[in-house]
Amino acid sequence: MFKKLAATALGGCLLAVALCLGLLPVTALAADGIELYVGGQQIKESGCYENQNGTWKKVDGTEPANGQFSYDADTFTLTLNQAMIVNYQNVTVGGGFTYPGSVIAFSQSADVSLKIVASQGTSNITGTGGIRVVSKAGDASLSISGPGSLEVNVDKNDSGISLIGSKNVNLNIDGADVKTLAAYYYGVDLHAGDGFKAAAVVNNGKLTAGGSGGIGIYYRWTNPSDSGTSSLTVSGNAVVDTRDSKILIASQASEVQVSAGSDGNGGIVFDGKSGTVYSDVTLQEDLEIGTDETLTIGKDASLTVPDGKTLTNDGTIINNGTLTGEVGGSGTVTPKITTDSLPNGTVGEFYTATLQATGNNITWSASGLPDGLTLNSDGTITGTPTAEGTSTVTVKAENSAGSTSKDYTLNIKPAMVPVTGLELNKNSLTLQEKGSNTLTVTVKPADATNKDVTWESSDTDIATVSEDGTVTAISAGRATITATAADASGASASCEVTVTHGNMVQTPKKDATCTAYGTEGYWTCGICGKHYKDEGGTVPTTPEDAVIPAIGHEFEGGLCSVCGARDASFSPALVSGDGAKWTKGSSKGLTFVSSAAFADLVEVRLDGRVLSASEYVVREGSTVVTLPAKLLEGLKAGDHELLIVSGSGTVRASLTVAEAAKVEEAAKAEKASADELPANGDSTAPALAVAAAAAAGAGLVLLSRRRAAR
């Protein structure tokens, strides 16, 4: 008592100094009133610690290496990395109190909330006492988080984990695998202030607790008659396992309130050999149920054994909820009938249905089965029903772990009358495209059990058929519509459907010209719009395929012989007659040939004068101009120039007129002149040339028009 007073006086002095200097925030001051002892040594400074020859020494680093722990004074957190913390000596803390314990957090004046992180692997805490969190003034809280494991083994005079508060005590395990075994006291000792709360929460991890006298987790108060509330909450598929001991509460008035956390999956709690599944649980590690152990799945709970995990049941699983996945082992699982409904039967036809259930060693029984049916020991219902009707069948599945019953409605229908034939109202049908007509079917006999038919078209591009037999014409052609009985008889009937085109509209043939394409004649259906070479619509074509290409010009002498179009690239040339000589007195004329087209002739000029039509003769081939002797006789002796002017150009020829010589020379000259005449020329027959020109028709007209225009 004296020591406690002294410590309080010292604390008050420090408080006064701190407040005067304004150095420390109030929370830091409160923390200053909390002491931490690890392995019997008081730890004050944040940092990493390593065990060197039995003493924890501060070393460099921020994260603890393998075998080390780190301490964060700001958050009051110990992080263990496969650390081995041992202490067999009693520890004297502030106020002169002495405790056993390998990890001790203590305060006389404040709440104490110690956090332990098992960062990886397995860390060990061993000694006369394990982890002890004590608040002489308020709450004592301990949280242990993973993802690593923590083993607390106490083989001397104390509990594995002791939370001793003047007010509430809180143990929180989150994501860690914690095992705490105490040879003399309790695995977990939750010792709250009288009337205060003792709570343990295990989320997404495991707490295995065992202790002397079979007490794994002990909830208690100094005065049992003044106990507060107690709770154990499991969530995130956590497991709390006290199978070698039990969960005990030091109160006659109440029980530990066990429940699933409100968010996510629940967990499994083994209170001694009785396990209970709370809410929905998916096994995170293999689970074995021993021969003398029982696991109960509540009505609203479920247990799922995922692939890769094993549930071995050598004891009893009482399944009042949902059990999913394989269950191994030689134990018993309460039957749970999983068959939802029974199939209908038919009078006179053999019936079989198999009932399914989870569980094993099941004995089946049933009441209310229709006449002719029996339930066999393997859960199958077999037999041949003798009468139609509806029965309520109650099935019971039973084994040493319990029994379940389920009611089914079982319909027995009258004996089947098969379809013997179908008849359609039409065997053939002709429809125009887009037209429709409904076929009707008669099912024989009239009392056939199943009068349903199915309809089918052999070519849905030609015609389709709906469920009520309405045929719709799609495109010209032929298709078969078939109705088939829906029962197993295979009876059917068919109708041949011919689909015709609508009005055929003709596009007449149009010839191509030199420059414009033409088209072959074709027919177009007024309904489907498709094109055909024939009015019957059997030979398809397209407007593109019917095109006749333009034939192109046939140019001769600078003009198209078909359409008269001019060839811009053509220039006429003088073919023959240049340099002709003519002697006066000669009877024959002179002939000149231009390569220009006959029809293209504009005029003929002699020495610049346009000759009148009567002064010369012109004929085709290409343009052949003959100056008759009569005209030549009137020219002066000497050189002259003849121009044949065509639409495409002008050709020039020179000619020479000589005076008559001696008779002999004149005859000689005349003979030479005759020799020079072109082979196709016949200048001595102007009448014939005119006749030829007349035969040329259009060419002559063109020639006449051009001359008239002059």
Residues of this chain that bind Zn ion (CB under 5 A): 433, 501, 514, 525, 527-528, 553, 560, 562-563, 565
CB-based contact 412:388 (threshold 8 Å): yes
| Shortest separation between residue 385's beta carbon and Zn ion, angstroms | 57
Query: CA–CA separation, 581 vs 672, rounded Å?
Result: 9
Whose Cβ is closer to Zn ion: residue 188's or residue 463's?
463
Whose Cβ is closer to Zn ion: residue 512's or residue 514's?
514
Whose Cβ is closer to Zn ion: residue 528's or residue 610's?
528
Amino acid present at 640: H
CB-based contact 421:490 (threshold 8 Å): no
Whose Cβ is closer to Zn ion: residue 201's or residue 525's?
525
Amino acid present at 492: S
| Shortest separation between residue 564's beta carbon and Zn ion, angstroms | 7
Query: CA–CA separation, 183 vs 210, rounded Å?
Result: 8
The pair of three-digit structure tokens given for residue 472, joined into one six-digit string: 């719709």
Q: Is 678 helix (H, G, I), strand (E, B) or coil?
A: coil
Residue count of the chain: 710
| Shortest separation between residue 699's beta carbon and Zn ion, angstroms | 15
Q: Is 382 helix (H, G, I), strand (E, B) or coil?
A: strand
Whose Cβ is closer to Zn ion: residue 520's or residue 567's?
567
| Shortest separation between residue 553's beta carbon and Zn ion, angstroms | 4
| Shortest separation between residue 430's beta carbon and Zn ion, angstroms | 14
DSSP 73-141: TTTTEEEEES-EEEE-S-EE-GGG-EE--SEEEEESSS-EEEEEEEEESEEEEEESS-EEEEESSS-EE
Q: Which of 2, 27, 29 has its CA nearest to residue 13?
A: 29
Whose Cβ is closer to Zn ion: residue 184's or residue 555's?
555
Whose Cβ is closer to Zn ion: residue 374's or residue 503's?
503
> Where are the extended beta strands (E) located within 572-674?
574-576, 580-583, 590-594, 601-606, 609-610, 617-620, 623-627, 638-646, 649-658
- The answer for residues whose C-beta is within 8 angstroms of residue 21's C-beta and 6 or more apart is none
| Shortest separation between residue 533's beta carbon and Zn ion, angstroms | 14
Q: Is 447 helix (H, G, I), strand (E, B) or coil?
A: coil
Query: CA–CA separation, 682 vs 675, rounded Å?
Result: 12
Whose Cβ is closer to Zn ion: residue 343's or residue 526's?
526
Q: What angle do CA 80, 82, 85 make, to 5 degrees?
A: 70
| Shortest separation between residue 433's beta carbon and Zn ion, angstroms | 5
Beta bridge partners, 640, equal 655
| Shortest separation between residue 574's beta carbon and Zn ion, angstroms | 26
| Shortest separation between residue 521's beta carbon and Zn ion, angstroms | 18
Whose Cβ is closer to Zn ion: residue 132's or residue 553's?
553
Number of Cβ within 10 Å of residue 195's Cβ equals: 12
Whose Cβ is closer to Zn ion: residue 431's or residue 575's?
431
Whose Cβ is closer to Zn ion: residue 10's or residue 550's?
550
Q: Is 319 helix (H, G, I), strand (E, B) or coil?
A: strand
| Shortest separation between residue 458's beta carbon and Zn ion, angstroms | 20
Q: What angle do CA 530, 536, 540 make, to 5 degrees?
A: 40
Whose Cβ is closer to Zn ion: residue 303's or residue 462's?
462
Rounded (to 5) percent helix, strand, coil in the chain: 10, 45, 45
The pair of three-digit structure tokens given for residue 62, joined into one six-digit string: 């921020």
**Helix 686-695 with 698-709: angle, nearest 10 deg:** 110
| Shortest separation between residue 654's beta carbon and Zn ion, angstroms | 35
| Shortest separation between residue 560's beta carbon and Zn ion, angstroms | 3
Query: CA–CA separation, 317 vs 328, rounded Å?
Result: 11
Q: How far is CA 188 from the centre of its chain?
A: 52
| Shortest separation between residue 532's beta carbon and Zn ion, angstroms | 9
Whose Cβ is closer to Zn ion: residue 565's or residue 610's?
565
Amino acid present at 390: T
